[in-house]
Chain A
Amino acid sequence: MTEPVPVPPRIPAGARDILAVEAEELREVADRWRAHVALAGYREVATPMLEYAEAVDRAQAGASDDAYRLFDEAGRVMVLRPDLTIPVARLVATRLADHPGPVRVSYVASAFRPPRPGRPRATELRQAGIEMVGAAHPGADAEVIAVLVGSLRAAGVRRPRIALGDVSLTRAVMDGLGVDTATRTALGRALSERDLVGWRERVGAAGLAQEGAALLADLPTLSGDVTVLDRIRETVPSAREACESLERTVATAARHGVDRELRVDLGVLRDWSYYSGVVFEAYAPGASEPLAVGGRYDGLAERFGAPRPAIGFAVALEQLHRAVLEVRGSYPALRAGVVLVGGLDTHAEPAADARAAGVTVIALGADDGDRADALAAAEGWRYVARPEYGGTLAVSDRAWGEKRICADLREFTE
């Protein structure tokens, strides 16, 4: 009779482990991103992983429906934060209410969402983002967009592209054309499903004047440089101000050096209830989803009792990592580090000395020499050192296949 093979323990659907190589790379990408946003004065904050469902719903009705829910000791409903924008808005409204503004904060943290039946998706989203609270002008929009582009570049993305839309402009067009509420709701739904066929059908059924209907039907496909706004200005004079505001944002972004990366794209219109002004997404080769999403949400802080205009974005670190790998390649590279046989016992002192000098030393017992090469191969370390008679070390270099004798590991700093 054979023993039953034990079933290995599983982790919940949509969750995953991160091993050393990926963890190192994710940390490096996040550190480069952090260093860049810090240059513009964005200072890192952290919020609790758990929030009350009531707080999340206050910011956006129904937001807690798509979140992991649990109960506290008094039976109140809590959620694992489904995004970071809402908690950070709460933090700024409650803890930084006296700040003269603009408040500039950043975060690097995970958001969570439950798995959906029939739709496999990651349940933990690693995000890095900034928020600027207390500045409403196009210059603030431009800074945030410039910081986004700069931070993506700093992290190692080669050709980021930003698609820039504006919900206030879209609203102004609909106001100017006199689109009724029912049609707006239906249009909002079509757009959230990215169904441009449905969008055009609803526009056609709205009974608008011909020129206005044609403009509205094309609105989510209007993209290019700012001249695409000329048509809106001609057809809907009351949207002139909104057009000019978007133009100022684009012009100011160009003065920050963000020019070719930026495209006006009025199809970027997510969730109308949340956002109030510019909305944008960042893309790059290698990532099939947006690297970042963001926009202006002037009404959000008010829901936490401290009305202030705000704009921000969240980068999806896993997508950013993919885009960086597209540039750098994902070939396994040998890491500078020495696997030292005897480092755990007979050669503990040289191991400590080398580490103090900045050399990575992976120690093994003196009797464990047989495993040294396998360990170096499994973890990708470049050097393997074995003690020799007379106190020297025989070091093999796995990159070049060479062997040499040396007295001191401190020469392996790189």
Chain B
Amino acid sequence: MRICVPLGALLDGSVEVLEAAGLDVSPLRDAGRRLVVEAAGGVTYITTRPSDVPTYVEAGAADLGIAGVDVLREREPEVVQLLDLGFGGCRMAYATIDGPDPTPGALEHLGVLRVATKYPRAATEYFAGTGRPVEVVKVNGSVELAPLVGLSDGIVDLVATGRTLRENGLVEREHIFDSTARLIANRVAMSLRAEEIGPVVAAMAAAVAR
């Protein structure tokens, strides 16, 4: 069984829940720079960037994976979302420079809002859904920079504690959706290898419920 695990913020929580479900996670702890590691019990871990996890699971390169709701909503992959794992809690939010909200002014004078984000789909859908014209600027990192240098009026980004926003003089204006880590599965593997995957999912469900 192959399990795709996200590197970065969700890694520690992922290792914890896999361990609580009774899987051997020791190779994952000292993986070093290896991206594919084998563990006891016929489990292989694949570690990737968080946004790539659904891609591996969707294509069947991994049977199970752990991905945030933010990534799942952005990609809309053809995978089964099995469990809310509870950790990695954060929210998708719209933020602008602190002080008077520039949003109404931009809409009134320019008729359109410029928003920088790593999540163009979430941003487009949110502003379309609230009836405001938006020009989404896709950036790949340091989103907070965009409003500071006049690239955009605001940003749509994932906020955990809000510290990064505060340190850059930004303030959260609108809450878009909440995100946590979810256990996802390849739909074919779910059926073809149910005997193998079923008990692991059940053990993870029990671990999360504790």
Contacts and interface: CB of A to CB of B under 8 A. Distances in A.
Contact of B81 (A196, A223, A281, A284): A196
A190 to B, nearest CB: 9
B188 A195 contact: no
B161 interface: no
Nearest to B188: A283
A298 interface: no
B81 A194 contact: yes
A102 interface: no
A28 interface: no
Interface string B169-210: 000000000000010001110111010000000000000000
A281 B187 CA distance: 11
Q: Per DSSP, are chain B's interface residues mostly helix, strand or loop, or mixed?
A: mixed
B81 A289 contact: no
A288 B81 contact: no
Interface in B19-43: none
Interface string A276-289: 00000101110111
Nearest to B202: A221
A68 to B, nearest CB: 22
Nearest to A197: B84
Say which size band chain B's interface belongs to: 20 to 34
Say which size band chain A's interface belongs to: 20 to 34
Interface in B104-154: 121
A321 interface: no
Contacts of A263: 191, 194
Nearest to A285: B192
Contacts of A119: 76
A287 B192 CA distance: 11
| Residue in B76, B81, B82 with the greatest tally of chain A CB atoms within 10 Å | B81
A194 B187 CA distance: 9
14 contacts: A194-B187, A196-B80, A196-B83, A197-B83, A197-B84, A224-B194, A263-B194, A265-B191, A267-B190, A281-B191, A283-B191, A288-B58, A288-B188, A289-B78
Interface of B: 58-60, 76, 78-84, 121, 182, 186-188, 190-192, 194
Given A161-B191, A198-B81, 10 more contacts: A194-B81, A195-B81, A196-B83, A267-B190, A283-B191, A287-B188, A288-B60, A288-B186, A289-B78, A290-B188
